[in-house]
Amino acid sequence: MNDEKDGSDIPSPEDDQPTDTSRRRFLGGVAVLGVGATLSACGPHGDEPGKPAERALTPTELDKALREQVKNVVVIYGENRSFNNLFADFPGIENPLSAIKPEQYLQRDRDGSVLSGLPPVWGGVNQVGPQTLDGVIYPAGTQFQEHLPNAPFALKGPQGEDLPLNLVTRDLWHVFYQNQMQINGGKNDHFVAWADSGALTFGHYAQTRYSLRLWDVAKEFVLCDNFFQGAFGGSYLNHQYLISAQVPFYPDAANSAAKSQIATLQSDDPTDTRLKPLAQSPTSAMTGPPQFGPSLLTPDGYAVNTMAPPYWPTWIRDPERPDYAKADLPSVLVPQTHEHIGDKLSKKNVDWAWYGGAWQATIDEYKDSGAIPKIPNFQYHHQPFNYFKRQGPENPAERSKRLRDGGLGDESSTNKFLADAEAGKLPAVTFYKPQGNLNMHAGYADVASGDRHIVRALKVLQQSPQWKNMVVVITVDENGGWWDHVAPPKGDRWGPGTRIPALVISPFSRKGTVDHTVYDTASILRLITRVFQLETLDGIKLRDESMIARGQQPMGDLTNALHFTS
């Protein structure tokens, strides 16, 4: 159930990360998309393509426009894809994969030497199978491309065909320490070295420009090409970062049931980003995946890798208290009490909710059968508010109001999120987490199903009575272990991590543009904070202070992707 495949972690020397924010500049050119279609780069106060320039709004005027015109912010949160993996050569982006030089992609071994070629794909491309798609058999445990040079490559199948988007590939490590080790101070040259999947991390889908529906959405609205996952590592931590910009804490971890899960680092410094490999770990990426011990917790008690929610639904239920997890397990996190974005919204009487796909179906199936359902692959650690005491079973009214069933599938008759959107009944701030098999997560979901579902959800939102005052942000939680060549900016101890795709869709979007502003996951919280005039979360303050102290500009708040007339 742990999609982050814990057992590996290591950091990157932050001293080598870039300290400027040169990516904040905006390109003014127009890139050809195809016959009759263009895509513009978008600036801080740019204008929509083909329209005459208008006076830029002052910050005060922009605040007024946001307050008066934006009534709903909807976040659709997919899974585990780097920007390169899906949007590598999208027209108009600042750093297309096809234009990078060898020094930007050559991978190094664990000793720092340049690899002469890529290692095998350990365990094969497909570990679920065999799968038969369009008459082609994709056997499990097989590497389809061998003797790959040390370079990014387009994913191919056994007959040399583009690897289909509807194939469920194997999962890849995506864990707190390893993500930092792979980034390696912004060089991004140790992805292969500290991966469990060998060469696979370096692969991307070449056919997305033709077959990914989200490409069409990006061409019509705004694609952000400098958007980074808020925290290093995996899904659990980035879900927590999405709602609070903060890392969960486990008090007195060294004397707790979870003490066996504390990471062993290369030094006694609890902030060391280098996880210590086990003695039997292979010294070279060419001879096998690295091996590490547990790393759920930092030595000073921060829960950085997947821990189970303290409340049901969770991994193991307490038979004496069915609303709770079995608390004496080392993988169960204690209830959290720090403030999240929902708390800030509630203080201003702004309605909000988290719609979890298959939430109620999971609860009902367990009740009826006593077994955790395999489909639709409900992921317990993708429900971040279920870790918080204020939304726990001690507060039933608050819990039922905020933790809503997202329902099942693509139709509003079964999907509660789509039904509420169709009826114009979404809260002012809405998070939607698609069920597992529709979220694009490698290992148990394919890209095509999630792509289809997310675009279907977007179409329902566009037909909603609330659409005229809505901003929709579509992104993923983290890179899923897939390589990206763009260096994350320095932030704080917790991130940001690897670049991921993000789209901003709204009647107010700067239509048909690529926004080069530097963002991270908490930029969504910054937008919500600005629109609804909320108090700033402590985690956002920490990142701002860390960046300002080294002369950087803080992360953007997504307003550069929006356009209001004066």
Instruction: Give per-residue pLDDT as tens, 248-281.
Output: 999 999 999 999 999 999 999 999 999 999 999 9
The span from the CA of 532 to the CA of 173, in Å, is 37
Q: DSSP label at 347?
A: H
Looking at residue 311, what is its pLDDT? 97
Q: How far is residue 316's CA from residue 318's CA, in Å, rounded to a whole number?
A: 7
Relative to beta strand 513-515, strand 222-224 is parallel
State the pLDDT at residue 375.
64
Torsion of CA 50, 54, 59, 61, to 10 degrees: -110
What contacts 264, CB < 8 A, 6 or more positions away? 275, 276, 293
User: Directed axis angle between helix 235-244 and helix 523-531, to 10°?
Assistant: 20
Full-model pTM: 0.91
Cβ–Cβ under 8 Å, residues 379 and 372 = no
pLDDT of residue 49: 53
First and final C-alpha spacing in the chain? 50
Cα angle for residues 333, 334, 337 (degrees, 5° grid): 120
Q: Is the dihedral of CA 104, 105, 111, 116 positive or negative?
A: negative
The dihedral formed by the CA atoms of 212, 131, 442 and 190, expressed in degrees to the nearest 10? -100
* 3-state DSSP percent of the chain in helix, strand and coil, to 5: 30, 15, 55
CA 556/CA 391 separation, integer angstroms: 29
Closest Cα partner for 233 from 304, 172, 309, 336?
A: 304
CB-hemisphere CA count at 13 Å for 216? 11
According to CATH, what is the number of the domain 14-93+208-244+338-561? 3.40.720.10
How many angstroms separate the CA atoms of 115 and 108, rounded?
Answer: 5
Taking the mean position of all CA atoms in its chain, how far away is CA 547? 21
pLDDT 10s digits, 159-196 = 999 999 999 999 999 999 999 999 999 999 999 999 99
- Domain assignments of the chain as residue spans, ordered by start: 14-93+208-244+338-561
User: Which residue from 80, 362, 88, 122 is spatially nearest to 238, judged by alpha carbons?
Assistant: 80
- DSSP class of residue 56? P
Do residues 502 and 474 lie in contact, with contact meaning Cβ atoms separated by under 8 Å? Answer: yes
Mean pLDDT by 10 residues, the chain (566 residues): 43 35 33 35 51 77 97 98 97 95 96 97 90 93 96 96 95 96 97 97 95 97 98 98 98 97 97 96 97 98 98 92 94 98 98 96 76 76 98 97 95 95 98 95 95 98 98 98 97 98 98 98 98 98 97 97 89
Residue 347 CB burial class (10 angstroms; 0-12, 13-18, ≥19): exposed
How many other C-beta atoms lie within 10 A of the C-beta of residue 431?
28
pLDDT of residue 180: 98
Whether 90 contacts 223, CB under 8 Å: yes
pLDDT of residue 89: 94
Contact assessment for residue 231 and residue 237, using Cβ atoms and an 8 Å cutoff: yes
Residue 379 has which token pair? 């992921």
- 378 burial (CB, 10 Å; 0-12 / 13-18 / 19+) is buried
| HEC sequence for 436-460 | HHHCCCCCCCCHHHHHHHHHHHHHH
d(CA 325, CA 309): 7
Give pairs for 321-325: CB < 8 Å, separation 24+.
323/393, 324/393
Q: What are residue 480's phi and psi, to 5 degrees?
A: 70, 20
| Closest to 115 in 3D by CA, of 149, 154, 152 | 149
pLDDT for the residue numbered 171:
94
